[in-house]
Structure formats: structure tokens, C-alpha cells
Amino acid sequence: MTDSNILLRVENLCKEFPIDDGFIARRRGTVRSVHAVNDVSFDIAAGETFGLVGESGCGKSTTGRCIMRLTEPTSGKVLFEGRDVAKMNRAELKAMRREMQFIFQDPYASLNPRMTIGEIVSEPLVIHGTVPDKAERERIVRELLDTVGLNPEHINRYPHEFSGGQCQRVGIARAFALRPKLIICDEPVSALDVSIQAQVLNLLDDLQKEYGTAYLFIAHDLSVVQHISDRVAVMYLGNMMEYSDWKTLYAEPCHPYTQSLLSAVPIPDPDIQASRNRIILRGDPPSPINPPSGCPFHTRCPIAKARCSQEKPQLREVLPGHFCACHYAEPTPIKESSIELDAVTE
Amino acid sequence: MFGLGLKKRNTQDLRNTPIPEGHHLLEVNDLKMYFHTEDGIVKAVNGVSYTLDRGETLGVVGESGSGKSVTSLTIMGLIPMPPGKVEGGDVLYRGKSLISMSEEELEGVRGNDIAMIFQDPMTSLNPVYTIGRQLSEGMRLHKGMSKKDALARSVELLRMVGIPNPEQRVQEYPHEFSGGMRQRVMIAMALACEPDILIADEPTTALDVTIQAQIIELMEEMQQKNGNAIIMITHDLGVVADIADKIMVMYAGSPVEFGSRDEIFYAPMHPYTWGLNRSIPEPEIGEKHPLTPIKGNPPSLVDLPEGCVFAPRCPYATEKCFKEVPPTYVTESGHYAKCHYSGNAEFVRANAPETSRTRKVAATPTEDERLKKGGRAS
């Protein structure tokens, strides 16, 4: 990837949410905070799909929201086409958001129930004033509805008249209305049934091929992320643990967390399922209010050593383009979908 | 009601009565549960049949609104009637009809012989009672245990499901537990009276994958120990591949296919099962396979299509499918599918998905065949 090709660059992004412990804590200056995102860096090239996976509470959604400045990052840089999003004023931010759109998780909650889907899809065009002519706007909206697989005749219907999958198509049409360069998809299919999920994934794929839009695809489902992404990053407790192209990450995961995460995904094939060597992690993820010292994963890691609780591992390039934040990680090929734990523990 | 003199229950457990000759542990015969609403009759469950024996796990797979939860709630007698009404069929537990049981008799079965784990561990626990009190309730009710004994048993149960420091945890409230821990408490509660049948309604859907793996492992462990049967309701084919012996695929209130796990995964006969298979992104190592989604949306249960319920979305549908309700095609092993063309071997061979999952099913007699020949699992 050349530098000129880079659409979005995130550098050392941190986000802390202070907790209101009350008056005494404020007076004493002992206000605690939730470390939602901790020193996250990555970049996305034009037209690429970058997948962000992790369990609930790992900071993947907060990362997405910080990039659009829906929440203010605590520190770090978000460079969109070389310009720092954090330093933009209102007007610049508005102009930037024309290029960067969002698809939300809940298809019902993200559509205004009092607006017709025509109004919903045309709203970005109105706000940004790109198409002043009303008749022309309607023509574009009809075209968009047709593109996402909805009947353009339904332009005057309300969201409650549609199913979850159809509502998500409306959300996608709205995101594409301005032909943005980057769309942040925050769990766009996790509220949908499998047969509908596949429809929406294929639609996102087709639209990307047509318009060359880059996606930041945030999801907890590893199979979905693998299916759609070019490169995948794994997050845990606000930290980026590993990232690589989709093939390497799934075939040769380095980080013990990625390995256990992959082995925990049930594969819909009884034979593979029975022959797999599965790593079942003990316990729950620690609280992001009081994250463990050293490596955030050391409390559940099957290969943790003394050094892990003292020294925080930095992302290092284990193979070209394959980064991993673990002191001891080595690329471990998965043979026939089974993860060899022994190879790691040696 | 608790503490104000608990009504003493009939402590005779149905699970100790032997299964009558020619019956299974649980038999569901052509069960129909309709809801009478203002918008019309919602045919939530429309002719479900299956059998279950001790130690077996039945996976019920389907999308939202396919009737998989309503089926099990009907078995438990937890559907409010009205609006619900059993329009036909029966549920036999050890040869005794659960549908025609009195409410009092049913209370003796529910939570005792047949227990249920609900989907959402966050809302299924009462926030104002301690975990210990909620765990004890069933044991005091069904077993007539004293408060002290029930609490001691609760500690034991929490330890069994892998909750650290159970003596202290038993005194805590649900908000002090994480999601995975709450689901463990739900499992402990369901297992408190050592049920014959454990119904788990999407027990891992609200949980992360690493926690999901822990919970499934726990349920399998408990089954091996207690020999209970499990009905696992889920939308995730991966989960049933892990745990189920038999699988029922449901669509719009009807079972469209039923068979052993291997039959459903490696020799499916119904186009809907094929569609589900093709819709799931597979964690793969080689090249990416394109997904082939099922077109359209599931039908409204108020206004089911004429003929085959799947016909409007089926890529192979013919004129016949839109007019005639398909018969149930049953193979020798008891594997059945509701499709006009499932009996046509050539059609099945030509159209069944060609994924890594397709494999010849071994010709050895399956569990169902063995059962058919008279040898019943204990």
C-alpha cells in the first residue's frame, strides 16, 4: 500500500470515559475512567474493507464513533485524506462527513419512525445541499432504493411497514446517498436472520464493487468479518491484539487470544467440530475500568508467563503485514481447521 | 408468596414413573398452537412432530418467527390461553399428556421434570432477590426442602456450574454477576431439581463466543452426568453441529425437515435447509465462496401462502408447490422433509449444496433406525 492510497489513518487513538463517582472523588481528584480504546493505530486504503472484531465491550464501536467524531477522542490522531478529524471545526466536519457515512446496528432504531423512507434516504442530500432540485432528488432516491433491492414504489411508506432486513437496506441506501469514500458499518448484520444476513452482505459487496467505497466493518461474528474483509484486526479490552490480511489471520493466527477466539466459533459441520482442538478460555474479560497491568489478556491467556503481567507487549511485525501484540507469539498454521494448542505452549 | 407459607406440592415426581411400552420420553404429535388476535389467526406452530429419549439432544433450528420458541413454551404450558389455543395434536411426557393436564399437575412437572433455560440471562433473574433465594425456590417447592438445605444445595449447584467462591456468591444479587455467570446461574436453576428434560431457548445468543463455548461445554458435561435430554433451540447451525444428535429445521411454524445431525448436515433434502447452508459464511482457509442467500422474506404467520409455505422463496418451486401442501417424505431412518421433490433422488443430488459440508452419510443404522426396531434407550 502506498501512502497516497491511504484514505484513513488512525494513530494512537485513545478514548477514556470518566465515571462519575460523585463529589468526594472529584474533590480528591480520584476520578476513575473506563479505558474504552487504548492506543489503537491502523489505516484503511481507498476501496478496501477493514474488519474490526472483538467481544462486547472491547472498544470496537467506540473506535468507529471516534473516527466520525460522534464522540471526542481523548488523544491520538484520526487522519482522513491527510486532514486531522479531531482538529476540524463544524463546517469542516460537515464537509468531511459527506465523504464518510455510518450504517448502524439496529435497523429499526436508526430510522426515524415519523419519516417516510423517501425522506430518510433523501435527508443527506438535503442536509448537504448537493441536489437542490426536489424532483431530481426523488429520482435519485428511487434509483438508490432500486439499487439496494427495494421497490421504488414504496418511497412513501414508513419504516414500520418493513422487515428488519428491508430497514437495513434503507439504512444502506441512506449511507450511499452521498457516494461517500468510506462507510463505517457498525454490526450491520448482527440483528438479522441468517438468510437475510447473507442478502445484506452480498448487497454491501456489490455496492463496493460498483462505487469503490471503503468499509470499516465492525462486528463480533468472525465468520462474517472474514467473509467481507480484506484485512482484519482483533481487539481485546480496548487494545489491538493482532491484525493482518484475512487469509493469514484465519489460517495462521499468532496471538493466543485470536487463536482461542477462532477456536470458539462453532463451525456448522459436525465432523470438523468433532475433530477440532478447541481452546476454551476460563473466566470473563476483565473490567476496562481497572485493566490488568502488562498485557491485557494475561489473566486469561493459556501461555502467560511472569513477563506478561509486567510489560505491555507492543504490536510487532511477525511476518510482513502481519502485526501481533504478544511477547511470545509465533505464527501457527491451522491444520484442517484445528488449532494446535501444543505448538503454542512449547 | 414466598415465605408466606409455601404451598406444599405433590412431591411425587413423574420422572420416576417408567416409560410405557411403545412410548418415548417425550413425544410431540402434530402439535398446533394458534394465537387468536385482532389481525387474524397467527399459526405460530403448525403441525410439529418429534420424539426424544433420555440422554439425547434435539436441536431446533429456525429463523425468528419460525415457531421454535412457541413449540417449547407450549410443552411447558407457558403460553397464555387465550390468546393462544392448542388447535390439535398432543405432547406426551412418559406417556402422559401434558396438554390435558390440570394446571396443578403441570406445576409439579414444570421446573421439576422439565426445566427451561431462557434466552436472556439479564432479564430472566429477579433483580430484588439474592441468587441463593432464587435457586432455592424450585427445590423448596418441588422437593419440600427446608430453607437451610435448599441454600446448601444452591451452593453446591453454583460450584457445579463453575462459579468461583459460591458460599459468598449465593448471597449476592443478579446485578453483581456478569452475563456469562448469570447464564450459569440459569443453568444451575434449571438443573436444581435434576430434570428429565432440559429445554434451552437460545441459551448463548446474548453471549460472546468465548463465553458461549464455556456454556455449551457445561451443558454437555451436565448431560453426561445426569443423563437428561436436551432440547436446544437456536438460530445458529454451528451450535447444533456441536451439540445435537437430532435436528429439526423449522420454517413459518412448520418443521420442514427432521433427521439425525449427520443427515441434516450431509444429506439434507429440503431446499430451505440447503438455503440456510449456503447463507452462512464459513470460516475458511482457502478462497472465499460467494454466499447464496434465500431471496425474499419469511411470510406473515397470519397469512400463510397456499401450498408449500416455502414456495414463494424457493428457487426450485413449480406450479404444484404453490397449490398443494407437500406431503411428508420419510426415509427408512426416520429422516423426513416436507417437500414435493424430496423423494426425487435425482433432484436432491443435482441441487443440494456442494460445500465442504457435503459428505456421504455412512450406511450404518442411525439412532432413529435402532429405536424404530424396538430397542429403546433407557
Determine whether the interchain pair A266/B239 forms a contact, defined as Cβ–Cβ distance below 8 Å.
yes
Q: How many CB atoms neighbour CB A335 within 10 A? A: 12
Cα of B156 to nearest chain A Cα, Å? 19
Residues near A3 by beta carbon (within 8 Å), at least 6 away in sequence: none
pLDDT at B83 over 70: yes
| Alpha-carbon distance A88 to nearest alpha carbon in chain B (angstroms) | 37
Question: Cβ contacts (< 8 Å) between B245 and chain A: which residues?
Answer: none
Interface predicted TM-score (ipTM) over 0.85: no
H-helix or E-strand spanning residue A278: none
Helix (H) or strand (E) holding A96: helix A90-99
- Predicted confidence at residue A4, as pLDDT, reads 67
Contact between chains at A280 and B217 (C-beta distance less than 8 A): yes
pLDDT at A180: 93
Q: In what order do the strands lie in the sheet with A214-219?
A: A100-103, A182-186, A214-219, A49-53, A231-236, A239-245, A322-324, A316-319
CB contact under 8 A, A198 and B292: yes
Q: What is the pLDDT along chain A (346 residues), one digit of tens a residue?
A: 556 688 999 999 999 888 877 777 777 777 788 888 989 999 999 999 999 998 888 888 899 999 988 888 999 999 998 889 888 898 999 888 889 999 988 888 889 999 999 999 999 999 988 888 889 999 999 999 998 888 888 899 999 888 888 899 999 999 999 999 999 999 888 888 888 888 889 999 999 999 999 999 999 888 889 889 999 999 999 999 998 988 888 888 889 998 888 888 888 888 877 777 778 887 778 888 888 888 999 988 888 888 888 888 988 888 888 899 988 877 665 543 344 443 333 3
The DSSP output letter for A283 is S
**Nearest residue, CB atoms, B293 vs list A56, A199, A284:** A199
**Dist CA A301 CA A282 (whole Å):** 9
Q: Do A268 and B213 touch (CB under 8 A)?
A: no
> Between A56, A201, A268, which is nearest B208 by CB?
A56
How many helices, marked H, and strands, marked E, lie in chain A?
13, 12
Q: In a mutagenesis test of the A interface, which of B246, B291, B292, B360 is the best target, namely the one with the most A β-carbons within 10 Å?
A: B291
Q: Which residue of B has its CA nearest to A190?
A: B205
For A163, nearest residue in chain B (alpha carbons): B297
Contact A267 B238 (CB under 8 A): yes
Distance CA A14, CA A38 (A): 5
Model pLDDT for residues B329-341, shown as the tens digit of each residue: 888 888 888 888 8
Residue B241 CA to residue B53 CA, distance in Å, equals 19
With CB atoms and an 8 Å threshold, state whether B64 touches A193: yes
Smallest Cβ distance to A223: which of B235, B283, B356? B283
* pLDDT for position B40: 84
**CA A72 to chain centroid:** 17
Cβ atoms within 10 Å, residue A243: 25
Q: Give per-residue pLDDT as tens, A263-286.
A: 888 888 888 777 777 788 877 788
The C-alpha of B192 sits at a distance from chain A's nearest C-alpha, in angstroms, of 23
Chain B CB contacts of A280 under 8 Å are 210, 213-214, 217
Separation between Cα atoms, residue B299 and residue B66, nearest integer Å: 10
Residues of B in contact with A247 (CB under 8 A): 285
Suggest the residue from A108, A162, A193, A250 to mutate for an interface test with chain B (most B CBs closer than 10 A). A193
User: Under an 8 A CB cutoff, do B214 and A281 touch?
Assistant: yes
CB A231, CB A245: distance < 8 Å = yes
The Cα–Cα gap between B236 and B249 comes to 11
The answer to whether A201 contacts B291, with C-beta atoms less than 8 Å apart, is: yes
Report the alpha-carbon distance of residue B118 to residue B131 in Å, rounded.
Answer: 16
The C-alpha cell of A111 is what? 430510522
Classify residue B305 by its DSSP letter.
P
What is d(CA A264, CA A194) in angstroms, rounded to the nearest whole number? 19
Q: At what angle do helices B179-191 and B147-160 cross, to 10 degrees?
A: 120
User: What is the chain A residue with the closest CA to B61?
Assistant: A194
Which positions ≥6 away from B322 have C-beta within 8 Å?
B305, B306, B307, B308, B311, B312
Question: CB distance B63–A195 less than 8 Å?
Answer: yes
Question: Which residues, listed in sequence order, are joined to residue B88 by a DSSP beta bridge?
Answer: B32
Q: Which residue of B has its CA nearest to A336?
A: B285
The model's pLDDT over A65-104, given as tens digits with 9 standing for 90+, comes to 999 888 889 999 999 988 898 888 989 998 888 899 999 8
Q: Searching chain B, which residue's CA lies closest to the CA of residue A227? A: B281
Enumerate chain A positions whose Cβ falls within 8 A of a Cβ in B. 55-56, 163, 165-166, 193-199, 201-202, 220, 222-224, 226-227, 247, 250-251, 260-271, 273, 278, 280-282, 284, 334, 337
Q: Quick one: cell of A167?
A: 430497514
Min distance A162 CA to chain B CA atoms (Å): 10
b/e sequence B167-192, b meaning 16+ C-beta within 10 Å: eebbeeebeebebbbbbbbbbbbbbb
Q: Which residue of B has its CA nearest to A164?
A: B297
pLDDT band at B298 (very low <50, low <70, confident <90, very high): confident
Q: Which helix (H) or strand (E) holds B35?
A: strand B26-37
For A261, A297, A331, the CA distances from A343, given in Å and listed in that order, are 17, 19, 10
Helix (H) or strand (E) segment spanning residue A296? none
| C-alpha span between A280 and A271 (Å, rounded) | 19
Q: Who among B265, B283, B293 is closest to A270 (CB)?
A: B265
Distances (CA, A) of B167 to A15, B156, B162: 38, 9, 13
- Distance between CA atoms of B66 and B38, rounded to whole angstroms? 20
- Please state, in angstroms and rounded to a whole number, the distance separating the CA atoms of residues B279 and B236: 12
**The pLDDT of residue B377 is above 60:** no
> CB neighbours of B281 closer than 8 A, spacing ≥ 6?
A198, A201, A223, A224, A226, A227, B291
CA distance B122 to chain A (A): 15
- CB contacts of B68 in chain A (<8 Å) are none
Residue with cell 410405557: B20
Cβ–Cβ of A270/B280 closer than 8 Å?
Answer: no
Phi then psi dihedrals of residue A172, to 5 deg:
-70, -40
Q: Do A166 and B211 touch (CB under 8 A)?
A: no
- Tens-place pLDDT, residues B92-114: 888 888 888 888 888 888 888 88
- pLDDT by residue (tens digit) across B1-22? 444 445 555 556 777 777 777 7
Q: How close, in Å, is residue A329 to chain B by CA atoms? A: 20
Q: In this predicted structure, which of A297-301, B62-66, B175-179, B281-285 has the lowest mean pLDDT? A: B281-285
Which residues in chain A have Cβ-Cβ distances shorter than 8 Å to B212? Answer: 264, 266
CB pairs under 8 A between A and B: 127
User: Are the beta carbons of A252 and A334 closer than 8 angstroms?
Assistant: yes
Who among B217, B275, B281 is closest to A227 (CB)?
A: B281
What's the rounded Cα separation, in Å, for the pair B251 and B45?
10
Could you say which of A194, A263, A281 has the minimum Cβ distance to residue B235?
A: A194
For residue A245, list chain B residues with Cβ-Cβ distance below 8 A.
none
Segment B31-36 shows an average pLDDT of 89
Q: Which CATH class is domain A3-99+180-252?
A: alpha beta
Q: Do the bridges between strand A239-245 and strand A231-236 make them parallel or antiparallel, or are there none, so unpaired? A: antiparallel
Between chains, do B261 and A166 touch, taking CB under 8 Å as contact?
no
Distance CA B277, CA A204 (A): 20
**Distance separating alpha carbons of residues A181 and A159, to the nearest angstrom:** 27
